[in-house]
């Protein structure tokens, strides 16, 4: 008998695998056919991308669904006695197939009912099972659905039984090493298809949100995988409408809500266009500098001078000296900056939550601008792809695999220097060809362990300051100190390149840290900022570039959520918002200053509010009001200044609750842009 090239049991496994993948693809086509009226003609061109990414999601589900059969077939390959339970295994596979089919049934019904793909919140209906069952009975053809599920179980069991019998109908003539080899090859192929991407990060739910159109994104999703992706967030995070309402008066006044309504919890505000003479078409470049913390830079370490270029740039630019990140994680910083809402989720980050991926972004009011995002690694990191690509109109994403000159430096992708070079090349070309203003985001990541200095470093030289001095001055090591120096060096090289390009004179650059960094010694900082852990949030904001004609030092307390509104104010462009961020520089320069602080990494999580030299801090049952810059920073001033204490407490907890509420009520379709 001729030896089989591929063992029958391997063929059986991949037949089952591919059959499932094919059926899931058919379901996607049916979904498009049934609900195609929701797809505007302007987005037809995105269907190719939708079906390509959707097919990869379906591959992943098929891989997961095939695990029991694959494991069983492997056992049978080594021990034929296991074939006696093949009918039981076939029945199990049939039951799994029917469960998947049930999810697809529920998904179609769910979408037809509320135009939303099924997610884990559907299990909330079990709180009122009789009412939910009665509604389903009166609305959907449940009898036919049950019959279809039974048919699915029987048909799938029969199909699997035939696959098993055929897979072992002939001897494979392989010894155990050959069988093990085929098992490993099959595992590698299935694992690769389940991983979904040839990159550092796997295929993630945020890949489905490659469009600003809801239907396109919904069509891309796989409903079964979406159940798993949303399960953790439905169970662990939400908002409290009653608490939000209890703080509404203080928060609405702080945000300068024009038509406050406590009952409807309206935070909507309209910022009109400035006078024609005050409107500009400046380019805007937002630069997230990884961990550019106030306690690390040259302003607080003048003798070590780790960031000489940042210092030089600030001397001729607008510098915010009391600027804070609401939280201390990069993905949270991206979410807060882009949505203008602090990321105060208690679980993971808001960018990882598919239930709140839909967010209003005020820079979409810049209809005449091209929009760009640059990152040296992958936008799948932290699932920030969904926040950016789904919510910023027609944004051009530049990430690993998309650069002309790509030399991977370490786990974070290409070096900051190469990232800046690529960003400058793209932006310079944009001005030469499209001749349109642009709004660009550049996110660095090199100032991170393992603190890799690239070989191509534009003449950078390391400096040894000694480990002891490094520790005293807020650094964990000399390597970290030099990594920050290289980050500053890369920024200098970027400005050298940009200044040679025509776009520079018409461009505003916003340079800031994505978050601060805690360092227990930090002898260069006020002790109160260290022990109250404000150094984990304290960062600089520098607004530089050709349009900045006069250097300013601004000591007003502000936050990352204010960056986009400040940019819009400098452009003189109007927009609508319901978020926390405000233009504290121009349009609302008279607004009450302040910044929410949320320490997500601690348990229980502290909530605070900074205003000038004062810091309200609460954690569990302990709370107090402190002057964090003073030597007697431990003195609780709540009894001495009860009015200030009560006000700052209300703003701290009010902004926290409003942020929790806001991320679930900031959908872009519910807030029209200013015309």
Which pLDDT tens digit goes with each residue over 463-485? 999 999 999 999 999 999 999 99
User: Is 514:303 a contact under the CB 8 Å cutoff?
Assistant: no
Looking at the chain, the number of H-run helices and the number of E-run strands are: 20, 17
pLDDT given for residue 673 in this prediction: 47
671 vs 599, higher pLDDT? 599
Calpha distance 295→306 (Å, rounded): 11
**523 CB contacts (<8 Å, ≥6 apart)?**
472, 473
Look up residue 431 and give its two tokens: 């001005």
Q: Does position 659 have pLDDT exceeding 90, yes or no?
A: yes
Over residues 576-596, the mean pLDDT reads 95
CA 87 to chain centre: 45
Q: Does position 396 have pLDDT exceeding 90, yes or no?
A: yes
Per-residue pLDDT tens over the stretch 424-437:
999 999 888 878 99
User: Is 358:391 a contact under the CB 8 Å cutoff?
Assistant: yes
Q: Cα separations (Å) of 314 from 44, 319, 496, 497, 509?
A: 47, 6, 16, 18, 11
Calpha distance 488→418 (Å, rounded): 13
pLDDT given for residue 449 in this prediction: 87
**135 CB contacts (<8 Å, ≥6 apart)?**
none
Crossing angle of the two packed helices 86-114 and 142-167, in degrees rounded to 10: 140
Over residues 579-605, the mean pLDDT reads 92
pLDDT band at residue 247 using 50, 70 and 90 as cut-offs? very high
CA 607 to chain centre: 22
Calpha distance 55→221 (Å, rounded): 10
Over residues 168-174, the mean pLDDT reads 73
pLDDT given for residue 174 in this prediction: 66
Per-residue pLDDT tens over the stretch 363-382:
999 999 999 999 999 999 88
pLDDT given for residue 320 in this prediction: 98
| pTM assigned to the model | 0.88
Q: Does position 136 have pLDDT exceeding 50, yes or no?
A: yes
pLDDT band at residue 621 using 50, 70 and 90 as cut-offs? confident
pLDDT given for residue 674 in this prediction: 44
Residue extents of the structural domains in the chain: 8-236, 283-583
Residue with tokens 């998947």: 100
Per-residue pLDDT tens over the stretch 305-364:
999 999 999 999 999 999 999 998 899 999 999 999 999 998 889 999 999 999 999 999
Q: How many residues does the chain have?
A: 675
DSSP of 527-590? HHHHHTTGGGTEEEEEEEETT--S-EEE-S-EEGGGHHHHHHHHHT--EEE-SS---TTTTTTT
Q: Cα separations (Å) of 38 from 42, 223, 248, 305, 354?
A: 12, 18, 36, 57, 21
pLDDT given for residue 600 in this prediction: 85
CATH superfamily of 283-583: Alkaline Phosphatase, subunit A (3.40.720.10)
């Amino acid at each position: 008998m001729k030896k089989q090239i591929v063992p029958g049991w391997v063929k059986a496994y991949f037949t089952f695998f591919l059959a499932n993948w094919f059926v899931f693809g058919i379901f996607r086509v049916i979904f498009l056919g049934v609900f195609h009226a929701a797809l505007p003609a302007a987005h037809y061109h995105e269907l190719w991308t939708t079906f390509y990414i959707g097919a990869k999601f379906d591959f992943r589900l098929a891989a997961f669904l095939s695990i029991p059969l694959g494991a069983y077939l492997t056992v049978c390959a080594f021990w034929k006695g296991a074939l006696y339970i093949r009918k039981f295994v076939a029945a199990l596979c049939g039951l799994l197939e029917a469960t998947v089919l049930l999810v697809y049934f529920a998904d179609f019904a769910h979408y037809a009912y509320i135009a939303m793909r099924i997610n884990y919140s559907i299990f909330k209906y079990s709180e009122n099972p009789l009412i939910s069952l009665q509604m389903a009975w009166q609305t959907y053809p449940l009898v036919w659905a049950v019959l279809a599920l039974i048919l699915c179980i029987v048909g799938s069991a029969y199909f699997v039984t035939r696959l098993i019998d055929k897979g072992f109908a002939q001897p494979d003539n392989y010894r155990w090493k050959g069988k093990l080899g085929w098992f490993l090859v099959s595992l590698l192929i299935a694992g690769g298809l389940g991983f979904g991407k040839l990159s550092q990060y796997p295929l993630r739910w945020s890949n489905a949100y490659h469009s600003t159109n809801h239907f396109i994104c919904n069509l891309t999703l796989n409903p079964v995988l979406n159940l798993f992706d949303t399960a953790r967030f439905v169970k662990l995070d939400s908002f409290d409408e009653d608490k939000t309402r209890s703080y509404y008066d203080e928060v609405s006044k702080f945000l300068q809500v024009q038509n406050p309504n406590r009952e409807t919890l309206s935070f909507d505000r309209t910022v009109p266009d400035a006078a024609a003479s005050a409107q500009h078409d400046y380019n805007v470049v937002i630069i997230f500098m990884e961990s550019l913390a106030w306690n690390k830079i040259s302003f607080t370490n003048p003798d070590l001078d780790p960031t000489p270029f940042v210092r030089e740039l600030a001397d001729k630019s607008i510098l915010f000296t009391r600027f804070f990140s609401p939280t201390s994680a990069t993905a949270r910083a991206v979410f807060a900056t882009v949505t203008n809402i602090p990321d105060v989720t208690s679980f993971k980050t808001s960018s990882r939550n598919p239930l709140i991926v839909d967010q209003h972004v005020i820079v979409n009011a810049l209809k005449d601008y091209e929009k760009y995002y640059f990152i040296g690694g992958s936008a799948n990191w932290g699932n920030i792809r969904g926040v950016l690509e789904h919510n910023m109109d027609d944004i051009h994403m530049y990430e690993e695999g998309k650069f002309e000159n790509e030399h991977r430096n370490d786990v974070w992708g290409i070096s900051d220097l190469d990232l800046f070079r690529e960003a400058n090349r793209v932006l310079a070309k944009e001005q030469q060809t499209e001749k349109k203003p642009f709004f660009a985001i550049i996110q660095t990541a090199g100032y991170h362990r393992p603190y890799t200095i690239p070989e191509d470093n534009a003449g950078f030289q390391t400096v040894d300051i000694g480990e002891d001095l490094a520790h005293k001055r807020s650094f964990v090591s000399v390597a970290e100190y030099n990594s920050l120096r290289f980050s500053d060096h890369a920024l200098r090289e970027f400005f050298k390149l940009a200044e040679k390009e025509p776009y520079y004179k018409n461009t505003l650059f916003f340079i800031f840290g994505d978050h601060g960094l805690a360092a227990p010694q930090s002898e260069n900082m006020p002790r109160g900022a260290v022990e109250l852990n404000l150094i984990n949030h304290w960062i600089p904001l520098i607004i530089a570039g050709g349009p900045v004609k006069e250097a300013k030092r601004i000591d007003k307390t502000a936050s990352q959520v204010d960056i986009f509104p400040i940019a819009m104010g400098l452009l003189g462009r109007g927009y609508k918002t319901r978020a926390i961020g405000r233009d504290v520089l121009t349009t609302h320069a008279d607004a009450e200053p302040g910044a929410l602080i949320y320490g997500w990494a601690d348990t229980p999580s502290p909530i605070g509010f900074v205003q000038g030299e004062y810091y309200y801090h609460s954690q569990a049952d302990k709370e107090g009001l402190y002057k964090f810059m003073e030597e007697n920073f431990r003195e609780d001033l709540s009894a001495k200044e009860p009015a200030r204490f009560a006000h700052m407490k209300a703003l701290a907890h009010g902004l926290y609750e409003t942020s929790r509420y806001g991320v679930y009520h900031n959908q872009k379709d519910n807030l029209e842009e200013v015309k």
